[in-house]
Amino acid sequence: MKTSIIILTLNRLDLTKQCLNSIFTHTKPDQIELIIVDNGSTDGTIEYLKQIQSVKLIQNQENVGFAKGCNQGASYAHGDYILFLNNDTIVSDGWLDAMLALLAQDEQIGMVGPVSNYVSGRQQIPVSYDKIENISDFAEQHCKSHRGHSKQVMRLVGFCLLVRNYIFNEIGGFDERFRLGSFEDDDLCLRVSQLGYQLHIAIDSFVHHHGHATFNSKPDLSIQNLFVENRLRFIEKWGHKALHFFHPRTDVIQFVPPSAQKILEIGCKTGTTGIELKQRQNCSLYGVEPDEIAAQIARHEYDEVHQHALEQTLPYPDGYFDVILLIDVLQRVVNPSSFVQKHAQLLKPSGYLICVLPNFSHAESIIPLLKGEWKYTLEGIRDFEHIRIFTPETSLALFPSKDFIIETQHFQLLNPPQNEVQFLEEVTEIAQKHGIELGNLPQRAKIYQTFLTIKKR
């Protein structure tokens, strides 16, 4: 079983040498084939690569971008597995074996990535080294203490990405509309998940990542502009809701009782939060999700997923669930109070509603209102799909004491700029002079979300 390692280069010969030396040091030569796609280097990279007999070199006269370059390399790959690796990485001992072990463990695992010092999302871990020469010692210690550990996720980053060759070919490779780089790996993850394959992080595989080497070597490339452009392309392809498909609400999971066996998540998206729950406790998961693509993906992980409007009646008897998750849901329904009462009937006695609600009295809302500059957004408190608004005080009214016990109320804070805080402090003082009580407005304006744990009587 051979792995085809595909590396794209665009100048930064120093980093490419570092990367290749680490591969030659920590990888069995008969285990891999090396395919390097150069996107127009002018710093001696081509001449250096031509001297390495084990490298299959593909030369482009210009920068064709990450997606197209990777697809070029993959077309030459003969391995059972393809590993896309940035040239600004340094691999460590056992890096590839740990990832391959996951693929060998289960045919349903389609893609695997390592942990790293510099990567967005769930793959980043804290590191104790600050010098390149100390990477190996850190990696050895980390991987030894996490041997055989992995985590299922919905998103892996393309800096080091291992995928089964036949899956990559089945989905048609990277989508080349994401020119140069950014969001092509998110897109790939969604398409692999649509087919029912799982994505895993090999926690016992560590790869050091410098980060943004291609952009740093090309001053004319703007990371921010490219991110914005490809984000729009991603939304155009998948819809704006897809921006939330990848990230589990780990901040909510802590409120779910470990003993809960039947859990309903209304607005479950692709099932990312449920995946986290399943890895923490033995439970059956049920979901409601209006988005067709998200529901399709969630069905691979949940026992049942209903793809319809949030308010639609569910085919479950009263007292069926231990926990119902309402994460960013109640602000999207016409009658939140009746919605709560209706779904509370599905809870067992002493079952829990766990709710997350945005705080409309956060500075992000009230300052634009005062300025007369209100604009809806694709996410956040001013999300254009929000049809009901709540504050930390008004959210409690949804759960009358005759039916519910409010066990906990927690707040997620997002501090506004200091000048806005000072303004709200002064407004509060002026209001008092005129007999208007605003309470602790400056503090309330820092609360971004309210987390409620509600027990059914």
Tell me: the pLDDT tens digits for 63-93? Answer: 999 999 999 999 999 999 999 999 999 999 9
In a domain, 245, yes or no: no
pLDDT-based confidence at residue 1 (cuts at 50, 70, 90):
confident
Distances (CA, A) of 346 to 284, 290, 316: 15, 20, 7
Task: Please check whether residues 55 and 167 belong to one and the same domain.
Answer: yes
User: Does 234 share its domain with 277?
Assistant: no
The pLDDT of 207-220, averaged and rounded, is 71
Predicted local distance difference test score (pLDDT) of residue 221: 62
* Secondary structure (DSSP) of 164-214: EHHHHHHTTSS-TTS-SSSSHHHHHHHHHHHTT-EEEEEEEEEEEE---HH
**Residue at 148 is within a domain:** yes
Query: In the prediction, which pLDDT does 129 show?
Result: 96
Residues 370 and 452 grouped into a single domain:
yes
Predicted confidence band at 179 (pLDDT cuts at 50, 70, 90)?
confident
**What is the domain-level CATH number for residue 213?**
3.90.550.10
**At which of 181, 208, 238 does a domain end?**
238
Q: What are phi and psi of 114, to 5 degrees?
A: -90, 180
Asked if the model's pLDDT at residue 262 lies above 70, the reply is: yes
- Helices 363-371 and 418-433 meet at what angle, rounded to 10? 70
Quote the pLDDT of residue 122. Answer: 96
Q: What is the pLDDT of residue 205?
A: 99
> What is the reported pLDDT for 259?
97
Instruction: Please tell me the predicted confidence (pLDDT) of residue 214.
Output: 55
Mean pLDDT for 219-240 is 87
What's the structural domain count of the chain? 2
Task: Count H helices and E strands in the chain, helices first.
Answer: 16, 16
For 287-296, which contacts have Cβ atoms below 8 Å and span 24 or more sequence positions? 288/264, 288/312, 288/314, 291/239, 291/241, 293/190, 293/194, 293/238, 293/239, 293/242, 294/241, 294/242, 294/245, 294/268, 294/269, 294/270, 295/268, 296/194
Report which of residues 379 and 339 the model is more confident about.
339
**Residue 29 forms part of a structural domain:** yes
Secondary structure class of 215 (helix, strand, coil): helix
Looking at the DSSP bridge assignments, the partners of residue 8 are 37, 86
Look at residue 210 in the predicted model and tell me its pLDDT.
96
Question: Which of 204, 238, 272 is where one domain is finished?
Answer: 238
- Closest alpha carbon to 205 in 282, 148, 276: 148
**Over residues 274-293, mean pLDDT:** 97
383 within domain boundaries: yes
423 and 397 housed in the same domain? yes
Do 99 and 204 lie in a common domain?
A: yes
- CATH code for the domain in which residue 399 is found: 3.40.50.150
Compute the average pLDDT of residues 88-103: 98
Asked if residue 243 belongs to a domain, the reply is no
Q: Supply the pTM of this predicted model.
A: 0.92
Within this chain, do residues 179 and 293 fall inside the same structural domain, yes or no? no
* pLDDT tens column, 26-47: 999 999 999 999 999 999 999 9
429 and 380 assigned to the same domain: yes
Q: Is 244 domain-assigned?
A: no
Residues 210 and 303 in one domain: no
Cα 312 to Cα 290: distance, rounded to the nearest angstrom: 10
Is 369 part of any domain?
A: yes
In this structure, are 223 and 269 located in the same domain? no
DSSP letter assigned to residue 257: -
pLDDT at residue 338 is higher than 90: yes
Rounded to an integer, the average pLDDT of 399-416 is 98
Give me the pLDDT at residue 215, please: 53
pLDDT at 181: 85
Q: Are 231 and 276 contained in the same domain?
A: no
The per-residue pLDDT for range 423-451, each reduced to its tens digit, is 999 999 999 999 999 999 999 999 999 99
Q: How confident is the model at residue 216 (pLDDT cuts 50, 70, 90)?
A: low
**Final residue belonging to a domain, choices 203, 238, 273:** 238
CB-hemisphere CA count at 13 Å for 337? 6
Domain that holds residue 215: 3-238
15 is a domain residue: yes
At 121-170, the pLDDT tens digits run: 999 999 999 999 999 999 999 999 999 999 999 999 999 999 999 999 99
Whether 212 and 322 share a structural domain: no
Does residue 312 sit in the same domain as residue 391?
A: yes
What is the structure's pLDDT at 176? Answer: 96
